[in-house]
Amino acid sequence: MNFKEFLVKNREIAQLVYGVILIILIPLLIAINTIFIINRYNKNIDSALLLQSLTVSRTTYALIKNDLANNDILQKKIDDIINRNSNFEEIYILKPEGDNFKVVASSNLKNVNKIYTTTFYQRAWISNDNEGKAVDSNELKKYNENGDLIDTNKKDRYWLASIPMRDINGSKQALLTMKLSSKIIDDLTNYNRNMSIYLLIGTVFIIILFLLVAVRLWDYAILYKKIKEVDKMKDEFISVASHELRTPVTGIRGYISMILEGSMGKTNKRITDSLKLVEDATKRLAVLIDDLLNVSRIEQGRMKIISKPVNIKNIIEDTIKELKIQADEKNLSLKFITHDNNFPLINIDNDRLKQVLINLIGNAIKYTPQGSVKIITEEKDNKILELRIKDTGIGMSTDDRERLFEKFYRVQNERTKNITGTGLGLWITKRLVELMGGKIKVDSIENIGTQVTLVWPIIKKK
């Protein structure tokens, strides 16, 4: 068994696994991508702060390098710089004293004369001119053997930058050290990070909902496909069964007709009446079989429509002649009111139009207890031919009218309960009219009557 066959046989399991993978994988990839972007953003911000701290240190160095020999002047200049720039937490100058470094001027007077022995200052001292060293306060432990550099009272992050300073003679004399606050940047970074996380959570939630809907839609798609398969099997069964039923029904009708005509000998009245009932039943059965066959052909796209330009006057007259007996049995007036003797040509299939007219006129007769059934034609603007079947029958409600062309739908009330029918005739009629390029509509009022209108475009005048 190959992979494709396995998926076909285990479709539901494959669907479940696929849905779970999507629900886990897509949010996970989005989360990884978001975290990666945030980390990259933080690194870029830190690089910018590092560059800024060294740049500020070099600028300050240029302002005070000429006064390195005088600690008092250095102190005044440091105080002036710190007062003009709030981003500086502290500025101080250290001079070497053996292997250690002593603070000779500081914006924080408490640190003056303080001795530092840390590796950080030693590295800064041996660095190239105008380069120096800069470190994040979070990484000071790497250089802070005795804890002197770490300010345990400060919670906000800062950058510590230190560059070597030379006097006017070019001799290395001191270290300029600055603490540059990164609170504003950190606050902005934290805000962006939190917003990114909130957006990530919202996005993942929406995606999960979407994937759940997608999985459900997949269920519906599979169900729809199964329904289509079952529907196709049903149509094929109906087609085969109808064909198989038609042959014996035709044989039964033939033999009954022969018996009633006396071809097989005389029969008494009781047998004749019984055979007429059987004949009526076989006719109804034949109509039902024909309806089922037509439904099957239409739904499978096998209904043959051979349209050509036709004058429908003769078709209408022939249909009326066939149904005149039914109308006379109910004492109904069956009239054909034509707009003109010269009918325009319309593009239709003769046999299918006659089938449509037999159904519509037959229904009008069936549902009209008394009065008349009229077939009226009208030409509009030399473009459209209307054919109306109008009766004075029982009519129907608005709800019934809206559902009239649904498959298997029949008007059910006290006045129709004894009238036989399959509920397929009007559905077939509508589809046939549309297949021939026409339109059909119904107007009806209860206890007044019904009018069915057929519309076709005129091909040309005869």
Residue 412, in any domain of the structure: yes
230-286 pLDDT, tens per residue? Answer: 877 777 777 777 667 777 877 888 888 888 887 777 888 888 888 888 888 887 787
Query: Which of 299, 328, 343 delimits the end of a domain?
Result: 299
Q: Do 331 and 422 reside in the same domain of the chain?
A: yes
Q: How many CA atoms lie within 13 A of 186 on its CB side?
A: 12
What per-residue confidence (pLDDT) applies to 134?
80
Residue 34, in any domain of the structure: no
76-116 pLDDT, tens per residue? Answer: 888 887 787 766 778 888 899 888 899 888 888 888 888 88
Residue 2, in any domain of the structure: no
What per-residue confidence (pLDDT) applies to 184?
72
* Residues 218 and 226 sit within 8 Å (Cβ to Cβ): no
Q: How crowded is residue 365: how many other Cβ atoms within 10 Å of its Cβ?
A: 21
Q: Do 263 and 134 reside in the same domain of the chain?
A: no
Q: Do 324 and 450 reside in the same domain of the chain?
A: yes
The span from the CA of 221 to the CA of 19, in Å, is 14
The span from the CA of 294 to the CA of 246, in Å, is 13
Q: How many residues does the chain have?
A: 462
Is the model's pTM score more than 0.95? no
CATH number of the domain residue 324 falls in: 3.30.565.10
Range of the domain at 168: 48-181
Query: If pLDDT is split at 50, 70 and 90, which confidence band does 439 have?
Result: very high
Query: Which of 151, 181, 211 delimits the end of a domain?
Result: 181
Q: Do 357 and 455 reside in the same domain of the chain?
A: yes
Q: Do 233 and 347 reside in the same domain of the chain?
A: no
Six token digits for residue 329: 């049995």
What per-residue confidence (pLDDT) applies to 236?
74
Q: How crowded is residue 272: how many other Cβ atoms within 10 Å of its Cβ?
A: 13
The span from the CA of 157 to the CA of 268, in Å, is 118
In what helix (H) or strand (E) does residue 460 lie, and over which residues does it extend? strand 449-460
Residue 102, in any domain of the structure: yes
Q: Give the dihedral sign, CA 432/437/443/447.
A: negative
The span from the CA of 282 to the CA of 462, in Å, is 42
Of 193-207, 373-387, 418-432, 443-457, the range with the lowest mean pLDDT is: 193-207
Q: How crowded is residue 4: how many other Cβ atoms within 10 Å of its Cβ?
A: 8
Q: Do 201 and 176 reside in the same domain of the chain?
A: no
Q: Do 273 and 345 reside in the same domain of the chain?
A: no
Residue 10, in any domain of the structure: no
In what helix (H) or strand (E) does residue 16 lie, and over which residues does it extend? helix 11-64
372 pLDDT above the threshold of 90: yes
| Closest by CA position to 438, among listed 310, 326, 269 | 310
Q: Do 321 and 456 reside in the same domain of the chain?
A: yes
Q: Which residues pair with 93 in a beta bridge?
A: 105, 176
Q: Do 127 and 241 reside in the same domain of the chain?
A: no
| Closest by CA position to 256, among listed 235, 234, 280 | 280
Residue 6, in any domain of the structure: no
144 pLDDT above the threshold of 70: no
CATH number of the domain residue 123 falls in: 3.30.450.20
Strands 372-380 and 333-337: what pairing? parallel
Could you give the angle at the alpha carbon of 218 between the alpha carbons of 215 and 220, nearest 5°?
115
Average pLDDT over residues 323-332: 92
Residue 41, in any domain of the structure: no
Q: Do 349 and 282 reside in the same domain of the chain?
A: no
Q: Do 282 and 315 reside in the same domain of the chain?
A: no
146 pLDDT above the threshold of 60: no
What per-residue confidence (pLDDT) applies to 6?
60
Query: If pLDDT is split at 50, 70 and 90, which confidence band does 373 have?
Result: very high
Q: Do 78 and 152 reside in the same domain of the chain?
A: yes
| Closest by CA position to 289, among listed 138, 402, 422 | 422
Residue 153, in any domain of the structure: yes
Query: Which of 272, 299, 326 delimits the end of a domain?
Result: 299
Six token digits for residue 302: 């096998």
Domain total in the chain = 3
